[in-house]
């Protein structure tokens, strides 16, 4: 989730590029850079925040009417000066910025190195500039088209060439890019906020369409290079709303980003029915006799789910523990234990403490995190990344579902490596999860209505069994975090052992019943709460007969192991709308911080 900006006009390019990058910094920032074209290309880049680039630029007297800029959120290669964008070719005649992931960069890199190209960085993006150089024969548009035929993955690209000094070529696939027109210039950026101080008139291009930006005009081309026309649109909102992409809050924006975040996390991981985790290829999974999952909060709930699935598939003993307990409970682990630490931020003190303990005890360690270069990613023996992009809202949503999908893939990967029978239907269905989530999001008003049931309540009870129990734990956490309603999650079978004493007329019970081997039992438990006056909201699938429940939402029928990802969406939206109805500050709940770096 990098930010990119481009300017081709009659005024100086730099002010536009920098103000745009500043507006995009919320998307992530571990380095930033710009290239200005003025006969030759001058590229200045810096590791760290944008302000460091601004300070660095004071040493230059950069003038030029054409330029590109980038603020990076690392995915391939640690945050560093060399890995920062823009990337240039050996002759310094081409420069480009890229947002996205080039999946086949390893093959392309090998091919280009064999042709004599020199790579400066560890990034996937750099292959694009050298590939472009290798195809360029006087026509930049044609060279870009050829590049698009070769690269796989997601991209938004802005390209400069000294041979075409009055233009910028831009294109995209599965990665956002918006083009704007001002009186004096054509501009582009990965996100609308970067444009709004200059123009509200914008053009959107489809995947693999190409645009050539010139100071006074913009030419659009389809995939085959045929010129096409585009209508402009007017952005109806201001910068603050635009940062939230038109959503009222970051939390809602991030809930709606889940289909995209999951697609990005899955990208390049499944080939036919085979799961690829290049990063783990040196691990011999036969050496382990036990697996531990360790995390905090929402990440812990993702682990509960991942652990159950792993145990079911591999029959290895799998334990899950909250990091603050694990680190002080003297866990029985050794070199035959695989320990997995899950953390969105990669900086949570308890999870880091637990990881260090595991290393002291010689266990193998894998970190799963959303932040490249984070402490956990540096400290663990191996690291896997979720690709949720920066999560701004304190309550975790897209980080959770990307953790779930990665943990599911990981479980199937271990089974594959152990030569066990793998549920290929589930693997293939994993790829349809983004589509199913989109369908559920279309029903948002239904969850808003359920939320009204909680408006004046002090308590809510969540129940589920098996994987559904992990889901309701997360549902209850989300509700209490953002709406301040006291919410507890119970294993449905435990109700009769105590909690049912709390149920009375008007109590709200939110139940999840999606797991075929146990759903009917949960549905019976629901009846016990209804008999005591509870108002029930049930999330289930249409496999089961349910009586007396007015508020039933039928989730899509998918493989049982995948249901938890789908279940998360209604639970997030119920929590979200409950908080809104109660007038809570959804993005910044009281007493909470995004990254908990203290014990």
Place of tokens 């975790």: 396
**In the annotation, is 2 catalytic?**
yes
Q: How far is the CB of 22 from ligand F6R (least distance, A)?
A: 25
Token readout for 432 is 């349809």
- Least distance in Å: CB of 571 to ligand F6R? 12
Which candidate, 415, 598, 581, places its Cα nearest to that of 483?
581
Binding residue (CB under 6 A) for ligand F6R from 154, 345, 402, 514: 345
Question: Closer to ligand F6R at the Cβ: 422 or 470?
Answer: 470
Tell me, yes or no, if 263 is annotated catalytic.
no
Matching residue, tokens 């234990």: 337
- Regarding 386 and contact with ligand F6R (CB under 6 A), the answer is no
- Show contacts with ligand F6R in window 438-497 (CB under 6 A): 477, 481
Given the complex with ligand F6R, which of 127 and 352 has the nearer CB atom? 352
Considering beta carbons, is residue 395 or 491 the nearer one to ligand F6R?
395
- Give, in order, the Cα–Cα distances in Å from 348 to each of 12, 368, 583: 43, 12, 29
Alpha carbon distance 124, 458 (integer Å): 51
Stretch that binds ligand F6R, among 82-90, 211-219, 342-350, 559-567 (CB under 6 A): 342-350
Minimum distance from CB of 301 to ligand F6R (Å)? 8
Task: Please count the residues of this chain forming the interface with ligand F6R, following the rule CB under 6 A.
Answer: 15
Of the residues 290, 448, 521, 594, only one is catalytic, namely 594
The helix (run of H) or strand (run of E) holding residue 87 is: strand 87-88
- Can you say whether the dihedral through the CA atoms of 262, 266, 272, 275 is positive or negative? negative
The residue of the chain with the least Cβ separation from ligand F6R equals 297
Options 34-42, 177-185, 273-281, 341-349: segment touching ligand F6R (CB under 6 A): 341-349
Q: Return the residue matching tokens 């382990």.
A: 288
Cis status of the peptide bond prior to 86, with omega within 30 of 0: yes
Site for ligand F6R in 390-409 (CB under 6 A): 395-396
The span from the CA of 464 to the CA of 468, in Å, is 5
Q: What token pair was written down for 302?
A: 């993702």
Q: Answer whether 432's CB lies under 8 Å from 421's CB.
A: no
**CA-to-CA distance for 345 and 350, rounded, in angstroms?**
12
Of 308 and 370, which has the nearer Cβ to ligand F6R? 370
Q: CA 80, CA 101: separation in Å to the nearest integer? A: 18
Give me the 510-549 binding string for ligand F6R, x by CB under 6 A, dash otherwise.
----------------------------------------
Residue 540, number of CB atoms within 10 A of its CB = 23
Which of 35, 154, 249, 344 binds ligand F6R (CB under 6 A)? It is 344
Q: x/- contact string, 289-328, with ligand F6R (CB under 6 A)? A: -------xxxx-----------------------------
Looking at the DSSP bridge assignments, the partners of residue 210 are 171, 221
Q: Beta-carbon neighbour count of residue 241 at 10 Å?
A: 16
Q: How far is the CB of 295 from ligand F6R (least distance, A)?
A: 6
Of 117 and 292, CB closest to ligand F6R: 292
Helix axes 50-57, 14-24, angle to 10 degrees: 160
For ligand F6R, the binding residues in 579-598 under the rule CB under 6 A are 595-596
Comparing CB distances to ligand F6R, the nearer of 167 and 481 is 481
User: Do 427 and 408 touch, CB atoms closer than 8 A?
Assistant: no
Q: For binding to ligand F6R (CB under 6 A), which residues are involved?
A: 296-299, 343-345, 348, 351, 395-396, 477, 481, 595-596
Residues labelled as active-site residues? 2, 594
């Amino acid at each position: 989730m990098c930010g990119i900006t481009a300017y081709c006009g009659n005024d100086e390019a730099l002010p536009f590029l920098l103000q745009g990058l500043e507006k995009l910094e919320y998307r992530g920032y571990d380095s930033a850079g710009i290239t200005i074209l003025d006969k030759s290309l001058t590229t200045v880049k810096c590791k760290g925040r944008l302000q460091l680039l601004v300070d660095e630029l004071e040493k230059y007297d950069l003038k030029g009417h054409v330029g590109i800029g980038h603020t990076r959120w690392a995915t391939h290669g640690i945050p560093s000066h060399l890995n920062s964008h823009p990337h240039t070719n050996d002759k310094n005649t081409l420069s480009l910025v890229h947002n996205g992931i080039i999946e086949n960069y390893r093959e392309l890199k090998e091919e280009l190195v064999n042709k004599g190209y020199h790579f400066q960085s560890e990034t996937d993006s750099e292959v694009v500039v050298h590939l472009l150089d290798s195809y360029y024969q006087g026509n930049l548009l044609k060279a870009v088209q050829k590049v698009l035929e070769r690269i796989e993955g997601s991209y938004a690209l802005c390209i400069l060439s000294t041979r075409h000094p009055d233009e910028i070529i831009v294109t995209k696939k599965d990665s956002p890019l918006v083009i704007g027109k001002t009186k004096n210039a054509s501009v582009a950026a990965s996100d609308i906020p970067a444009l709004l101080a200059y123009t509200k008139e914008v053009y959107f291009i489809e995947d693999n369409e190409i645009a050539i930006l010139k100071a006074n005009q913009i030419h659009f081309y389809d995939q085959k290079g045929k010129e096409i026309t585009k209508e402009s649109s007017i952005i109806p909102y201001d910068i603050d709303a635009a940062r939230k992409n038109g959503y009222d809050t970051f939390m809602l924006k991030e809930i709606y980003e889940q289909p995209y975040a999951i697609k990005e996390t899955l990208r390049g991981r499944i080939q036919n029915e085979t799961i690829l985790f290049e990063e783990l290829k040196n691990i011999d999974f036969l050496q382990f006799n036990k697996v531990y999952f360790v995390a905090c909060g929402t990440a812990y709930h993702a682990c509960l789910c991942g652990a159950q699935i792993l145990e079911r598939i591999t029959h290895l003993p799998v334990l899950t523990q909250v990091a603050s307990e694990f680190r002080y409970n003297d866990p029985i682990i050794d070199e035959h234990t695989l320990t997995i630490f899950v953390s969105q931020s990669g900086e949570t003190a308890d999870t880091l403490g637990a990881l260090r303990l595991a290393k002291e005890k010689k266990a193998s360690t894998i970190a799963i995190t959303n932040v490249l270069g984070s402490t956990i990613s540096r400290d663990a023996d191996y690291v896997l990344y979720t690709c949720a992009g920066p999560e701004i809202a304190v309550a975790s949503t897209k980080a959770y579902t990307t953790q779930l999908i990665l943990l599911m893939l990981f479980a199937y990967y271990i089974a594959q490596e152990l030569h066990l029978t793998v549920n290929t239907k589930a693997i293939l269905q994993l790829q349809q999860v983004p589509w199913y989530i989109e369908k559920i999001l279309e029903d948002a008003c239904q969850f808003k209505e359920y939320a009204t049931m909680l408006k004046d309540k002090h308590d809510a009870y969540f129940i589920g069994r098996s994987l559904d129990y992990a889901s309701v734990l997360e549902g209850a956490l989300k509700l209490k975090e953002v709406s301040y309603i006291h919410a507890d999650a119970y294993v449905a079978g435990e109700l009769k052992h105590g909690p049912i004493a709390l149920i009375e007329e008007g109590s709200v019970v939110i139940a999840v019943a999606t797991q075929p081997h146990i759903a009917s039992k949960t549905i019976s438990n629901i009846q016990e709460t209804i008999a005591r006056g509870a108002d029930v909201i049930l999330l289930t699938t249409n496999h089961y007969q349910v009586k007396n429940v007015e508020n039933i939402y039928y989730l899509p029928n998918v493989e049982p192991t995948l249901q938890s990802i789908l279940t998360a969406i209604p639970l997030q939206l119920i929590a979200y709308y409950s908080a809104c109805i109660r007038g809570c500050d959804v993005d910044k709940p009281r007493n909470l911080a995004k990254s908990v770096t203290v014990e």
